């Protein structure tokens, strides 16, 4: 089978949930099928600044075809049109289409390629409903397209053009049952057949968590946050809670951050920022920590939480994020909090009860092994394709 | 079940819902027992306020919903580029976008920070009002429950 993955940006060095998800799935499927990735030359997720040359290249054994973007994202224009479409009821369908165009990355060349070369591919897998290439590209080949929406509970999902759009593809791959529920609620015309695939995690062999702690000057015990240090990820709330927790409890525990910072990090002796971590370091940090804390209020699938469970570490997540809360309850791999009082109580409980903490981590790992090995993920994708796309 | 028995059980078979229920009960008991000192209460209140001031997204709160239904209330800084003039209107929209928008943007950037502050204050005050309304509702219900036995309890049951 010849499969095309269509995504806004693609590359080993890119940090981003949907980009990483797409790349790993394309790599796994390339062992059994002919895979080609159709993407843009953009590398920056805010401005769509070019970081790659147009044309063909091979990334980790997968053929990647990049197309030029017409322009960088105009942030002022995009902010205006977002305000208009999200909050002003007088906006029109044309405004929403303009929103998609301004959201970008605008690459008509990529959409034209899909239209002109559709006969060469058996199936197109489109990533992220909100971007230009997915909205306009999928409309060219609805009968042989699978959509991976990566939808979150934010205002964009409520735009009226998407309520029709979600009924368009032949099939949908959801990351979690909560995402399926969300998209089902906003789709006015019902949904095509779908599967919930989640994600599989590979833990690199031969990790050295003790060496990692020594190299990075970390002391026991510490709790870990991994990801972009950003207000959108709930990090400002985490800083507030953690500092108040320390004042209240006077407990010797550090908060270690792994990820680039888009937010000033408080200068506190017990908050340590390591900056960007390589894949190997990330898993070493996970094995070295007491637990992973994830304060994000918006997630469609939090890969680092799955990575923590696969590493046998328990998690403490923001209960206001339905995806994180329900996934935690399903997996049995951690606890969640809604308020400062619950943050303190759950954190104390997990730090004071190492055997229960380990048992939660073990349960999380078993959940991953039973549900999210590559054989399950790839099997579900192939099953959906077989059910929905007519064979050539 | 006693706490020690539960803790032993969770060492081999942890149950997230059970643990969360147990921890919430502990928090409630601490609140009910008045074991929070003045400092703890102040800290809780400050954090609660900071959460409420951050506030829910528009549309999630009942007050936002009612205000939305009675008319526009949010500050709007985006320019409106619609037209009622049919085909010729497209030319006006194009002119508005290409000629008017750049200076308009410049003016907007000057007032935007103040407008944003006002918008944030509006939303925060609405969130606070809503939280206070919820709290009053909750306290009123509790008061009703506490006062009911005094009003109609003994008379009805006495022979």
Structural contact between residues A260 and A275, judged by C-beta atoms closer than 8 angstroms: yes
- Interatomic CA distance for residues A118 and A4, integer angstroms: 10
pLDDT value of residue A224: 97
pLDDT value of residue A212: 95
Q: Identify the contact set of chain A against chain B, taking CB-CB distances under 8 A.
A: 76, 79-81, 83-84, 87-90, 92, 154-155, 237, 240-241, 244, 247-248, 328-329, 332, 334-336, 339-342, 345-346, 349, 353, 355-356, 359-360, 363
Q: How confident is the model at residue B159 (pLDDT cuts 50, 70, 90)?
A: very low
pLDDT value of residue B75: 63
Q: How confident is the model at residue A61 (pLDDT cuts 50, 70, 90)?
A: very high
- Interatomic CA distance for residues A240 and B52, integer angstroms: 14
Domain ranges, ordered by start, for chain A: 2-200+373-388, 209-371
Q: Which residue has the tokens 């105009």?
A: A74
| pLDDT, tens digit, 9 for 90 and up, residues A241-254 | 999 899 888 889 99
Averaged pLDDT of chain B? 71
| pLDDT, tens digit, 9 for 90 and up, residues A273-282 | 999 898 899 9
Do residue B14 and residue A346 have CB atoms under 8 angstroms apart?
no
At the topology level, CATH places domain A2-200+373-388 in Rossmann fold (3.40.50)
Do residue A84 and residue B80 have CB atoms under 8 angstroms apart?
yes
pLDDT value of residue A81: 87
pLDDT value of residue A228: 86
Do residue A349 and residue B23 have CB atoms under 8 angstroms apart?
yes
**A124, A145, A101: which is closest to A3 by C-alpha?**
A124
pLDDT value of residue B52: 61
Give me A77's structure tokens: 């224009």
**Pairs across A and B, CB distance < 8 A:** 81
In this predicted structure, the answer to whether residue A373 has a pLDDT above a threshold of 80 is yes
Q: Please tell me the distance in Å from A360's CA to the nearest CA on chain B.
A: 6
Touching A: B residues 46-85, CB under 8 Å: 47-48, 50-51, 54, 57-59, 68, 74, 76-80, 82
Do residue A359 and residue B12 have CB atoms under 8 angstroms apart?
yes
pLDDT value of residue B80: 66
Do residue A329 and residue B82 have CB atoms under 8 angstroms apart?
no
Q: What proportion of chain A, given as a percentage, has pLDDT over 70?
A: 99
| pLDDT, tens digit, 9 for 90 and up, residues A317-327 | 999 888 899 99
| pLDDT, tens digit, 9 for 90 and up, residues A160-175 | 999 999 999 999 999 9
Q: Which CATH number fits domain A209-371: 3.40.1400.10, 3.40.50.970, 3.40.50.10320, 3.40.50.2000?
A: 3.40.50.2000
pLDDT value of residue B66: 59
- Interatomic CA distance for residues A358 and A288, integer angstroms: 13
In this predicted structure, the answer to whether residue B117 has a pLDDT above a threshold of 80 is no
Greatest mean pLDDT among A82-86, A316-320, B3-7? A316-320
Averaged pLDDT of chain A? 92
Q: For residue A272, give every residue at least 6 positions away whose Cβ sits within 8 Å of its Cβ, in sequence order, or none.
A: A218, A222, A254, A255, A256, A257
Using a CB-CB distance cutoff of 8 angstroms, which residues of chain A are in contact with residue B80?
A: 84, 90
In this predicted structure, the answer to whether residue B149 has a pLDDT above a threshold of 70 is no
Using a CB-CB distance cutoff of 8 angstroms, which residues of chain B are in contact with residue A84?
A: 78, 80
B32-71 burial by CB neighbour count: b if 16+ within 10 A, else e?
eeeeeeeeeeebbeebeeebbeebeebeebebbeebeeee
| pLDDT, tens digit, 9 for 90 and up, residues A334-354 | 999 988 888 999 999 999 999
Q: What proportion of chain A, given as a percentage, has pLDDT over 90?
A: 72
In this predicted structure, the answer to whether residue B132 has a pLDDT above a threshold of 90 is no
Least confident window among A13-27, A178-192, B117-131: B117-131
pLDDT value of residue B157: 42
pLDDT value of residue B47: 64
- Cα-based distances in Å from A339 to A131, A224, A266, A291: 34, 19, 21, 19
Q: Which residue has the higher pLDDT, A367 or B66?
A: A367
Do residue B16 and residue A329 have CB atoms under 8 angstroms apart?
yes
Q: Which residue has the higher pLDDT, B88 or A185?
A: A185
- Interatomic CA distance for residues B54 and A286, integer angstroms: 31
Do residue B78 and residue A88 have CB atoms under 8 angstroms apart?
yes
In this predicted structure, the answer to whether residue A51 has a pLDDT above a threshold of 80 is yes
Domain ranges, ordered by start, for chain B: 1-36, 59-159
- Interatomic CA distance for residues A285 and A226, integer angstroms: 9
- Interatomic CA distance for residues A175 and A200, integer angstroms: 11
Per DSSP, the three-state class of B79 is coil
Least confident window among A47-51, A53-57, B35-39: B35-39
- Interatomic CA distance for residues A319 and A297, integer angstroms: 8
Check CB contact of B19 with chain A, cutoff 8 Å: yes
Check CB contact of B5 with chain A, cutoff 8 Å: no
pLDDT value of residue B158: 39
pLDDT value of residue A56: 95
- Interatomic CA distance for residues A116 and A67, integer angstroms: 14
| pLDDT, tens digit, 9 for 90 and up, residues B38-96 | 566 666 666 666 666 555 544 455 566 556 555 556 666 666 666 677 777 778 778 87
Q: How confident is the model at residue B35 (pLDDT cuts 50, 70, 90)?
A: low
Q: Please tell me the distance in Å from A335's CA to the nearest CA on chain B.
A: 6
Q: Which residue has the higher pLDDT, B112 or A371?
A: A371
Least confident window among A102-106, A238-242, B36-40: B36-40
Q: What proportion of chain B, given as a percentage, has pLDDT over 90?
A: 7
**A4, A11, A69, A8: which is closest to A37 by C-alpha?**
A4
Site from A355, A356, A365 to mutate, B interface, most B CB atoms within 10 angstroms: A356
In this predicted structure, the answer to whether residue B37 has a pLDDT above a threshold of 90 is no
Structural contact between residues A236 and A263, judged by C-beta atoms closer than 8 angstroms: yes
B85 C-beta neighbours (distance < 10 Å), count: 10
Do residue A244 and residue B10 have CB atoms under 8 angstroms apart?
no
């Amino acid at each position: 089978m010849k499969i095309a993955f269509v995504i806004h940006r693609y590359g080993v060095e890119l940090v981003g949930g949907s980009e990483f998800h797409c790349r790993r799935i394309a790599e796994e499927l390339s062992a059994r099928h002919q895979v080609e990735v159709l993407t843009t030359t953009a590398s920056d997720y805010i401005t769509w600044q070019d970081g790659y040359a147009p044309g063909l290249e091979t990334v980790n054994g997968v053929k990647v075809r990049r197309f030029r973007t017409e322009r960088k994202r105009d942030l002022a224009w995009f902010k205006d049109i977002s305000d208009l479409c999200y909050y002003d009821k007088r906006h029109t369908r044309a405004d929403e289409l303009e929103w998609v165009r301004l959201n970008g990355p605008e690459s008509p060349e990529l959409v034209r390629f899909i239209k002109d070369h559709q006969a060469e591919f058996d199936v197109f897998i489109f990533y992220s409903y909100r971007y230009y290439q997915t909205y306009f590209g999928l409309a060219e080949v609805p009968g042989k397209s699978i959509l991976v929406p990566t939808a979150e509970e934010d205002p964009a999902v409520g735009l009226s053009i998407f309520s029709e759009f979600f009924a368009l593809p032949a099939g949908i791959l959801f990351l979690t049952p909560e995402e399926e529920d969300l998209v089902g609620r906003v789709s006015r015309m019902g949904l095509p057949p779908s599967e919930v695939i989640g994600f599989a995690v590979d833990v690199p062999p031969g990790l050295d968590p003790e060496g990692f702690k020594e190299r990075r000057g970390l002391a026991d015990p510490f709790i870990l946050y991994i990801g972009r240090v950003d207000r959108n990820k709930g990090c400002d709330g985490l800083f507030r809670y953690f500092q108040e927790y320390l004042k209240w409890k006077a407990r010797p525990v550090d908060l270690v951050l792994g990820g680039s910072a888009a937010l000033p990090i408080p200068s506190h002796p017990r908050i340590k920022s390591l900056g960007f971590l390589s894949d190997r370091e990330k898993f070493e940090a996970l094995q070295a920590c007491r637990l992973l804390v994830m304060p994000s209020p918006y997630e469609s699938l939090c890969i680092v939480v799955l990575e923590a469970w696969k590493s046998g570490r328990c998690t403490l997540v923001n209960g206001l994020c339905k995806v994180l809360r329900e996934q935690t309850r399903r997996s049995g791999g951690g606890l969640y909090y809604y308020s400062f009082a619950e943050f303190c109580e759950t954190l104390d409980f997990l730090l004071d009860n190492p055997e229960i903490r380990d048992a939660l981590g073990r349960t999380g790992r078993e959940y991953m092994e039973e549900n999210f090995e590559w054989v399950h993920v790839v099997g579900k994708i192939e099953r959906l394709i077989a059910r929905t796309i007519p064979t050539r | 079940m006693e706490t020690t028995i539960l803790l032993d059980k969770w060492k081999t078979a942890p149950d997230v819902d059970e643990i969360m229920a147990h921890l919430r009960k502990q928090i409630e008991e601490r609140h009910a027992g008045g074991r929070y000192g003045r400092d703890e209460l102040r800290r809780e209140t400050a954090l609660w306020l900071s959460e409420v001031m951050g506030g829910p997204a528009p549309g999630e709160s009942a007050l936002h919903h009612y205000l939305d239904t009675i008319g526009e209330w949010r500050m709007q800084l985006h320019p409106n580029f619609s037209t009622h003039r049919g085909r010729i209107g497209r030319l006006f929209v194009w002119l508005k976008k290409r000629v008017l928008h750049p200076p308009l943007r410049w003016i907007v950037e000057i007032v935007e920070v103040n407008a944003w502050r006002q918008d944030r204050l509006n939303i925060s005050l609405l969130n606070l009002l809503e939280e206070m309304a919820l709290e009053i509702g909750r306290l009123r219900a509790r008061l009703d429950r506490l006062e009911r036995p005094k009003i109609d309890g003994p008379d009805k049951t006495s022979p």
